[in-house]
Amino acid sequence: MKRLGIGTGSAMALMALEPLNSFAQNSDNNTNGNHMTYRVQHGTGEKVSLLGFGMMRLPRDNQELVNRLVDYAIEHGVNYFDTAPIYGRGLNEGIVGAALSRHPRDKYFVATKMSNYDEKLWNLEEAKKMYENSFKNLRVDYIDYYLLHGVGQNGMEALENRFLKNGLLDFLVKEREAGRIRHLGFSYHGDVRVFDWLVDHNDKYHWDFVQIQMNFLDWRHASLEKGGWKVDADAEYLYNKLAKAGIQAVIMEPFRGGALSKMPEDCVAQLKAARPNDTVAQWAFRWVSSHPNILTTLSGMNVMEHLVENVATHSPLEPCTPAENELLEKIADTMQGIPTVPCTACAYCMPCPYGVDIPGNFTFYNNAMNNKQLPEKGTPTYAAKHEQFIKEYNKALPIEARANQCMDCEECLKKCPQGIRIPNQLSRINAVLRGR
Ligand code: SF4
Ligand code: SF4
């Protein structure tokens, strides 16, 4: 480190040098009249846009907007589009298929998933129906990137029930051999033993890619148990293990579902001082996309403004410098000291049978925490802050959606990819409201 002139002794700073060196080898000027940065898929040599379009949060009732977003994305070089049969209450694949099929098939890669969380779909024939439906919904006769969806949730037992004992994974491998699936991978959340098992069996399954959650906060701080939540593995571990195994990573949650935009004001000020014209989102994307073993960084974009900004950030990507990486590392350490709830607002836990707006509660609480508006007992400002907190909370959430409506039924627990102990966290919010 000394030899390289890195003063802080930070391994993250060393990591920062790697993307810069490898970046040029992985980038490719495109010939489509735009400046999108591409990565080369190792197996086929195809060029995948470093910005991928996560379609999960698209509106269900505005095909015209979806078409415009897709048209803009394709026109500006984005060619990776990610959906799943369970997104948009089962409607997302169809909406995505309608938008994409207006373009030549060689202009886009489509990624979808086997979302067989429901026990009924552990049966091979039922799971095959979900698989076949994806082709119909997407209006394609091959799928470019197919994933086992959300492995790691509920541990090895769930992996065995969903994919191994029933022969489903063997079936999908055969589908890849037949060419109906071009690349096979999995998306991972939760129990790291499942991730390890699958990567360690790469000789058997030959994963073409793996989708992981990665952002500058989760790089080192995802595995810490804090405030009752627990995620098993840091992105640093996941990313490095994939790189070592020669498997390219697709990144989800580069912006932690928007949560990084709620960072404390003093942290935002430090970023502004370093790059006055950049948004926090641009910092987050540049940090993720600078890593060389990434095929594409997914962003869930449902408004044109975000798409335009993210396209600009990747056209071409300006990789983070070692000094910028150090700044983000410092900010991550500061944020890690704040026990926010690591909710990405994905809404997988919804609907709650008792009407609680789970992501709404966590977003409110995190904002208050990040902006130092949480009432702290024993401080001179407690009474005023407490009163303000209650007032704002009541304004933000209707009675039926509030934390005190939680009946502790635990329906939501198994659905949360972040492993958040949702009822415990809601009760923490409730305690603040009650002044306990
Ligand atoms: S535990 Fe609470 S928040 Fe979760 S589903 Fe049950 S009532 Fe809703
Ligand atoms: S609590 Fe979990 S499942 Fe629910 S929105 Fe947050 S991250 Fe998603």
β partners of residue 423: none
Give the residue ranges of the chain where pLDDT is below 70: 1-33, 223-232
| Residue 155 falls in which region: left (phi positive, over 0), alpha (psi -120 to 50) or beta | left
Per-residue model confidence as pLDDT tens digits over 42-63: 999 999 999 999 999 999 999 9
In a domain, 334, yes or no: no
Q: What pLDDT does 414 receive? A: 85
In a domain, 155, yes or no: yes
Asked if the peptide bond before residue 254 counts as cis, ω within 30 degrees of 0, the response is no
User: What is the pTM assigned to this prediction?
Assistant: 0.77
Q: What pLDDT does 30 receive? A: 52
Q: Cβ contacts of residue 52 below 8 Å, gap of 6+?
A: 78, 80, 81, 82, 111, 250, 296, 297, 298, 299
Nearest ligand atom owner, CA of 429: 1
Whole-number Cα distances in Å, 404 to 134, 356, 365, 427: 39, 8, 14, 7
Q: Whose CA is nearest to atom 3 of ligand 2?
A: 416
Question: Could you tell me if 81 and 206 lie in one domain?
Answer: yes
Question: Could you tell me if 20 and 76 lie in one domain?
Answer: yes
Q: What pLDDT does 223 receive? A: 64
- 294 and 80 Cβ atoms separated by less than 8 Å: no
| Residue range(s) defining the domain that contains residue 379 | 358-434
Spatial distance between the Cα atoms of 129 and 121, rounded to a whole number of angstroms: 9
Question: Could you tell me if 378 and 314 lie in one domain?
Answer: no
Characterize the bridge pairing of strands 109-114 and 181-188.
Answer: unpaired
Question: Could you tell me if 89 and 154 lie in one domain?
Answer: yes
CA of 328 to the centre of ligand 2 (A): 25
Question: Could you tell me if 288 and 415 lie in one domain?
Answer: no
User: Coil, helix or strand for 361?
Assistant: helix
How many helices (H) and strands (E) would you count in the chain?
A: 17, 10
| Residue 188 falls in which region: left (phi positive, over 0), alpha (psi -120 to 50) or beta | beta
Q: What pLDDT does 224 receive? A: 52
Spatial distance between the Cα atoms of 237 and 241, rounded to a whole number of angstroms: 6
Spatial distance between the Cα atoms of 146 and 349, rounded to a whole number of angstroms: 24
Question: Could you tell me if 20 and 99 lie in one domain?
Answer: yes
In a domain, 347, yes or no: no
Element (H, E) at 19: helix 11-26
Q: State if residue 356 touches ligand 2 by the CB under 6 angstroms criterion.
A: no
In a domain, 363, yes or no: yes
In a domain, 335, yes or no: no
Residues with Cβ within 6 A of ligand 1? 352-354, 356, 358, 406-412, 422-423, 426
Q: Whose CA is nearest to atom 7 of ligand 2?
A: 343
Site to probe by mutation for ligand 1, drawn from 349, 405, 421, 422 as the one with most ligand atoms within 8 Å of Cβ, is 422
Characterize the bridge pairing of strands 51-54 and 294-300.
Answer: parallel
Of 300, 322, 344, the residue that ends a domain is: 322
The amino acid occupying position 341 is: V
User: Tokens in use for 86?
Assistant: 């369970």
Question: Could you tell me if 301 and 365 lie in one domain?
Answer: no
Nearest Cα residue to 140 out of 112, 170, 121, 169: 112
Question: Could you tell me if 236 and 87 lie in one domain?
Answer: yes
CA of 415, closest atom in ligand 2: 3
- 51 and 76 Cβ atoms separated by less than 8 Å: no
CA of 427 to the centre of ligand 1 (A): 11
Spatial distance between the Cα atoms of 35 and 39, rounded to a whole number of angstroms: 13
In a domain, 329, yes or no: no
Per-residue model confidence as pLDDT tens digits over 334-376: 887 777 888 989 999 999 999 999 999 999 999 998 888 888 8
Q: Residue 37, class by beta-carbon neighbours within 10 Å (0-12 exposed, 13-18 middle, 19+ buried)?
A: buried
Q: State if residue 37 touches ligand 2 by the CB under 6 angstroms criterion.
A: no
Of 322, 339, 369, the residue that ends a domain is: 322
In a domain, 312, yes or no: yes
Give Rg (Cα) of the chain: 22
Q: What pLDDT does 24 receive? A: 34
CB count within 10 Å of CB 279 equals: 16
Question: Could you tell me if 393 and 305 lie in one domain?
Answer: no
Question: Could you tell me if 149 and 273 lie in one domain?
Answer: yes
Q: How many independent structural domains does the chain possess?
A: 2
